[in-house]
Structure 1
Amino acid sequence: MISKSINPVLVFLLSVSYSLLFLAPFCHAANNTLTRGQSLKDGESLISVDENFELGFFSPGNSSLRYFGIRYYKIRDQAAIWVANREKPISGSDGVLRIGEDGNLLVADGNGSPVWSSNASVVSNNTAAMLDPTGNLILSSNDSIGETDKAYWQSFSNPTDTYLPNMKVLISSAEIHAFTSWKSANDPSPGNFTMGVDPRGAPQIVVWERSRRRWRSGHWNGLIFSGVPYMTALTTYRYGFKVTRESDGKFYFTYNPSDNSELMRFQITWNGFEEQKRWNESAKTWQVMQSQPSEECENYNYCGNFGVCTSSGSHKCRCMEGFEPRQPDQWRRGNWSGGCGRRSPLQCQRNTSSGGEDGFKTLRGLKLPDFADVESISLDACREMCLNNCSCKAYAHVSQIQCMIWNGDLIDVQRFVEGGNTLYVRLADSELGRSRMPTYVIILIVLAGLAFLAISIWLLWMLKKSLKVLPAATSACTSSKCELPVYDLSKSKEYSTDASGSADLVIEGSQVNGSDLPMFNFNCLAAATNNFSEENKLGQGGFGLVYKGKLPGGKEIAVKRLSKISGQGLQEFKNEIILIAKLQHRNLVRLLGCSIQGDEKMLIYEYMPNKSLDYFLFDPDKQALLDWSKRFAIIEGIARGLLYLHRDSRLRIIHRDLKASNILLDEEMNPKISDFGMARIFGGNQSEINTNRVVGTYGYMAPEYAMEGLFSVKSDVYSFGVLLLEIVSGRRNTSFRQTERMILIAYAWDLWNEGKAMDIVDLSIRDSCDENEVLRCIQIGMLCVQDSALHRPTMASVVLMLESSTTSIPLPRQPTFTSVRASIDPEISLEVQEVASSSDLTVKVVAGR
């Protein structure tokens, strides 16, 4: 026997060689890119770099057929999100993916027969495919791998049944059935249900069963889908839906989650439900967050035309007022599909001219009907348009959508327990309960009413003459008599008589005692302002005029003279007196006193010679006077003033109307916060309050306040963030309405996110400012305007970040506040000085002083 020793080096090299041969296919599988000349066989896969998604062959459920598609990778439930050969499955395990001779992706079976191709218009056959971290399979040239804007083809533009974050759904002029369900839970072939966007009226998500509608989301108003009950403003910002205009000029629905680490998907299921699912890592399962239709009333047109479905009532379906069931017997049996018909014909439908004019019945809290036409006109013009068109059945006026008109039957209407919109349904005069009186009776009633009114006015005038005015009202205007003795407003007869109420202020359940404040002689104030002359006028606010005055001793003052027809009522007047009288801070305007005489109510402030911030900030000729050092000092001053209101004052106060016109500037350009008519006091343990009356200025209100009436100190933080960005940019938040972007916030975010934040800065200071300080301010501003109040910093944190260059600043989340109307139709805009109001909403826009 011949004995041979084995070389250990040779053994090691052979072992390594075998290992490499064995691991070769797995190394290939770990790649996320496929290039020309490579192939992907059954058993191999491409995996995204974050290992969330896998591209390869699979068999769904208990099926033995093989499909090529994209699935989740690192979680237990590898749900499929996209399937290529859903109509031509492969029976064996010899399928392969490769890039064909024409540069397209090609899936072939074991015989080499193609079962699917991307069929894109490829200008170069030197192509490559990449599975990116969003789950999108992108085919592009080898020189631009993964660039969606240069893609020849991508799976996000050719979806199957699943909508993922960052995917775009086109909004065009016609219905788009973008997603098609599977045939069954284990069969990916096209099923009976589709989901997509119907752009008519305002865009809405629709689920179809073949060509018949099964469910719709209601119209998109720029913030929410109005027909989805759970979708409040806060959840909308969390979910992150918005409409964007891309570089191709088209509009798309997009979805950006608040937490990109979560696995989230929307799906049209094989049995016809639109579901939103989130992966629950602790339970190792997909959690269904919402599913539509979730109950009977959400099934499309469940109660038929002109019917209203209510989930909470004992009877789900009722006819609208003025209508009755078309098939009463079927209606009583619970078959409401026949709907309702009009009881009395409209005026234009009658053969005779008898009867009065048509009118409208107001229905509140509804999911508005389907198939609306939209016009960009006011509420009154909308009503007139409907009245002048015999085909018009109803109208509505919705914020961000404007006038909606229905010329056909009112279809798929649902009544909500909370939320919803108001619909005005056109009815014949006889259905509105109007009494029919002879003409002479109406004339007599009108004349009697006029006579009664005249007598009442005469009596009031005589009574007023007999009333005593304040003791010093007619005294000479001397320095000693201009200011009357200090009055306790809660005991002032003049105040309680003429203002119709006590000066004690009850806010959020707790009483604040009346404040001792100097009362000024009306005649003296008239003399001080040259009888309120035009040349002494400093500005005009929403509640009256502001005049410059000079007291006999030479002291300059500002007199806010409330209009007799002012929107500022007794409550706001009390607020401003009591709040400012108790506040003392160098960055808050100082109240010197008030004057109350008859119908005249006035507030006297310290005079601010440099007017308000907007007087300089938004005037191209005066912007340069505010260099960066002055602007930064103004930002710091406003922040310190707000911090005092929120934390350091005796009362915890929310201003609720912070904006450039309410920041006054003294002779040294120091900022002082003014106009506390809308402010609210918080109790010691309160952190958030809900109000039924939303007040403030468009563009400065926090989302949760504007939509739900929820306000807190974080509402002021949002307004401060908007104001900070305005100070840096020199542009109003609402100055972008004529462009494709809605507001300054969106403009600033785009530039900040692209690393071009300095482009935001006002040109008049861009070359002379401290770049690091400016960028720090922009980042703080973006933190303050985040959609969720929880994510915004407190004013204490803001002051710290402003004053300390070493304090680290977190990265902001992308704001989603947008408007579909501004995006879809850039020609439509609201006037900046418009004042909109309803029973639930008051938005005031006040011009600068």
Structure 2
Amino acid sequence: MIILLLLLLVILREPIWVFATPGRLLSSPLPSPISPISSALTALPSGIHAGNEEHRMNSNKKMLIELVGAGTSLVAVILCLLCLWIHYRKLPSKSKRKSCKNSDAEKGVALAPFLSKFNSIRLVGMKGSVPIIEYKQIENSTNNFRESNILGQGGFGRVYKARLEDNFDVAVKKLHCQTQNAEREFENEVDLLSKIQHTNVISLLGCSINGDTKFIVCELMQNGCLETQLHGPSHGSALTWHRRLKIALDTARGLEYLHEHCRPPVIHGDLKSSNILLDADFNAKLSDFGLAVADGSQNKNNMKLSGTLGYVAPEYLLDGKLTDKSDVYAYGIVLLELLLGRRPVEKTSPAQCQSIVTWAMPQLTDRSKLPNIVDPVIKNTMDLKHLYQVAAVAVLCVQPEPSYRPLITDVLHSLIPLVPIELGGTLTISQVKERVHPAHSPLSPTPSH
């Protein structure tokens, strides 16, 4: 820009006659050979010569004015372009910084109360937006990973109850990452949970690393997992009909968030009762995102089939195709577990197993048989109409053809009217009383013989 301005000043200071001959920009005329044309011009009368000189001067002035105007316009255009370039160069930078700050702020919402409240937690770094907690503190808080602190066990390790120095209980998942798959699952879970924040998804509080052993620190869910509640020592005795519907509703809400509100959508990929955790009030939250997929584009040839027997959708087993409808199928299995109190796969003989779908499907669609296969713990405690509705939803979810299965949003809207208001639905107490009369209900228990 400075060079252009200097050139313009030089042009303006040159004598007018410099521009008389195109291509000459020297400050003094150069000698040139006499041509026949110039000789002829000298022979012309002086009046004509003077007229030609005047015409030449006028042409020079006109040319100068045009050049000045063009130069001024060029300078103005260049200045405008320079200003625009500077403006747009700064704008993305500011917006990017702002976006990064907002992103970090959003990711840190769940972590901020945790970090600010417990000043004694010793951090040794950050993994993205996730705090890395000192390994020694993890070791001490689990009593050197004592067996009495074990909450559960997964494919790559165990989950321990840990008490931090502030008397704050958390859950610590210990992963043995000697294999590439285990390492990938650890990275995947930390990455996804650091971005996901929802009432019905487990909250990530931090992680820790000690060689090949990795640790994921999450909020503690006091009532453990749904699998233990249903199939453990209590056999579902703490899970009433409405509490089961509440768990089904919470799970559907968590899945809807993953499928409809995450960008890109997230497919859980390993939904099962052991990955549905329950807090002190039996609010359900999805956990274990090691096999989750952040988008639906999987390469069948490079994809390792994974999941849990009994929950895996048929199209995934046959074609390796994993979609949101695969999660819906697994959700249908969980719904059947809540309804029937049976495991997804049960042994019928030492060498043979039977899936809950194969066993239940003929009876689920028969209204006269359905009440007889319901979990004995909740039998005769619900409105028959509600029972039929939940069974119908489960049947749709476990259809072999993915296109016949509903979206999880449709499942959610089907369950909301069946859950009492105080548990997150829209069912009022008056509706419950009108429909359920234990003493005179057709579902009243029959006398035992």
Check whether TM > 0.5.
yes
1:155-190: per-residue Cα shift (whole Å, max 9, x none)?
xxxxxxxxxxxxxxxxxxxxxxxxxxxxxxxxxxxx
Letter in 2 for 1:713: D
Contact 1:483 1:518 in 2 (8 A): no
Structure 1 position 622, deviation (Å): 3.8
Sequence identity, in percent?
Answer: 38
Of structures 1 and 2, the one scoring higher in RCO (CA 8 A, sep 6+) is 2
Higher-Rg member (1/2): 2
Paired residue type of 1:771: L
Indicate the SS of the match to 2:266.
strand
How far 1:679 sits from its partner (Å)? 0.4
Compared CA separation, residues 660 and 647, structure 1 to 2 (3 A): same
Q: CA deviation at 1:733?
A: 1.3
1:694 corresponds in structure 2 to 305
CA distance in 1, matches of 2:361, 2:143: 49
Q: Equivalent residues in 2 for 1:147-162 (5 A)? A: none
Answer yes or no: is the 8 Å Cα contact 1:639–1:799 preserved in 2.
yes
**Matching residue of 2:359:** 747
State the AA in 1 paired with 2:279.
D
CA deviation map 1:280-330 (0-9, x unaligned):
xxxxxxxxxxxxxxxxxxxxxxxxxxxxxxxxxxxxxxxxxxxxxxxxxxx
Q: Residues 461-500 of structure 1: matches in 2 within 5 Å?
A: 480-484=119-123, 486-487=125-126, 489=127
1:530 partnered with 2:180:
no
Q: Is 1:571 equivalent to 2:210 in the alignment?
A: no
Matches within 5 A, 1:115-134: none
Change (3 A) 1:479 1:721: closer
Give the aligned residue type for 1:694. L
**Deviations 1:528-573 (CA, angstroms, capped at 9, x unpaired):** 1111111111121111011101111121100111125467422111
1:625 Cα deviation from its structure 2 partner? 1.1
What whole-Å deviation, never above 9, does each CA across 1:618-669 have from its counterpart, x for those lacking one? 1363412111011000000000100000011243100111111111110101
Instruction: Kindly state the Cα deviation for residue 712 of structure 1 after the two structures are TM-superposed.
Output: 0.5
1:88-131 deviation digits (Å, cap 9, x = unpaired): xxxxxxxxxxxxxxxxxxxxxxxxxxxxxxxxxxxxxxxxxxxx
- Are 2:325 and 2:405, in contact at CA under 8 Å, matched by a contact in 1? yes
For 1:194, the equivalent position in structure 2 comes to none
Which of the pair is proportionally richer in helix? 2
Q: Which runs of 5+ in 2 are unaligned?
A: 1-116, 419-449
In the alignment, the residues of structure 2 paired with residue 532 and residue 567 of structure 1 have an alpha-carbon distance, to the nearest angstrom, of 24
Name the one with the larger strand percent. 1
| Cα separation, partners in 2 of 1:523 and 1:732, compared to 1, 3 Å | same
Using the TM superposition, give the Cα deviation of residue 689 of structure 1 relative to its aligned residue in structure 2, in angstroms.
Answer: 6.3
1:724 maps to 335
| Contact 1:758 1:775 survives alignment (8 Å) | no
| 8 Å contact from structure 1 (residues 699, 733) kept in 2 | yes
Q: CA offset at residue 753 of structure 1?
A: 3.2
Tell me, in whole angstroms, the C-alpha distance in 2 between the residues paired with 1:597 and 1:605. 18
Task: State yes or no: 1:591 paired with 2:204.
Answer: yes
Q: What one-letter code is carried by the residue in structure 1 that aligns with 2:312?
A: M
After TM superposition, give the deviation of residue 597 of structure 1 in Å.
2.7
The amino acid of 1:483's aligned partner reads: R
C-alpha contact (below 8 Å) 2:156/2:182 kept by paired residues: no
Work out which of the residue numbers 175, 187, 192 in structure 2 matches 1:562.
175
In structure 2, give the amino acid aligned to 1:526: E
Partner of 2:412: 799
Give the equivalent residue in structure 1 for 2:238. 625
The 2-side partners of 1:650 and 1:714 are apart by 17
1:705 equivalent among 316, 339, 350: 316
Alignment-derived partner of residue 381 in structure 2: 768
Aligned to 1:680: 293
TM-score normalized by structure 2? 0.63
Distance in 1 separating the partners of 2:120 and 2:325: 45
**Offset at 1:746?**
1.7
Q: Judge conservation of contact 1:572–1:678 (CA < 8 Å) in 2.
A: yes
Structure 2 SS opposite 1:539: strand
CA distance in structure 1 between the partners assigned to 2:200 and 2:125 by the alignment: 25
User: Which residue, 763, 784, 794 being the options, matches 2:397?
Assistant: 784
Kindly indicate whether residue 354 of structure 2 is the aligned counterpart of residue 715 of structure 1: no
In structure 1, the partner of 2:344 is: 733
Contact 2:178–2:212 (Cα < 8 Å) also in 1: no
Bigger drift between 560-569 and 702-711 goes to 560-569
Asked if the contact 1:737–1:743 (Cα under 8 Å) also holds between the matched residues in 2, the reply is no
1:646 aligns with 2:285: no
In 2, the alpha carbon distance for the partners of 1:677 and 1:482 equals: 26
1:406-485 equivalences in 2 (<5 Å): 480-484=119-123
Give a deviation string over 1:359-380, Cα, whole Å, max 9, x none. xxxxxxxxxxxxxxxxxxxxxx
Which amino acid is 1:738 matched to?
Answer: S
Return 728-737 or 777-786, whichever deviates more.
728-737
Q: Distance in 2 between matches of 1:621 and 1:598?
A: 39
Which residue identity is paired with 2:238?
L
How many residue pairs get aligned? The number is 299
Could you list the per-position Cα deviations for residues 729-756 of structure 1 after superposition, in whole angstroms to 9, with x for gaps in the alignment? Answer: 1110102543988211122211123331
